[in-house]
Structure 1
Amino acid sequence: MSYRQFRPVPQILLELPPAEQQKLYEEVMAILKRLDWTDVVQLTALVMGNASLQQKLAGVVMNYLSRELNAKIQHG
């Protein structure tokens, strides 16, 4: 991927149409609804304290971008 084509993931997510944002939201919530949390502070603490959960959520986002947008993900 050339530098000109590079866009950070947060930028891509913000530019998604509402319907696509909803699809991704539903995929992420399928994981998060299994957790016991009552507010965003508690949810953040749960996610930040659990490397496995972080990997699952990152995987959902990467798979979504690859599958739906044909994006090539580079990290590191």
Structure 2
Amino acid sequence: MAYITLSEWNRRQAHPHCMETLRRAARGGRFFPPAIFEGREYLVDENAEKLTRNNTFNPSRTVHPALLSRIKHGTPEKP
């Protein structure tokens, strides 16, 4: 997993976006995997996806179902 700058990631896209739009998306957590703020710029995984309203991050796709169940309902008490 190699990290590249947000501007380099944008150059590699088929339809580049305005940099301010991408910075807002990075601040808002709309990249998967999430962008990292390092120094004065954002770093993203070279294979990262920018999430849209229709393509939102859904933890249930990445977190084991048993873990989600324990988070929602608590763990059973041990005797």
TM-score normalised to the size of structure 1? Answer: 0.25
Higher strand share: 2
Higher helix share: 1
- Structure number with bigger Rg: 2
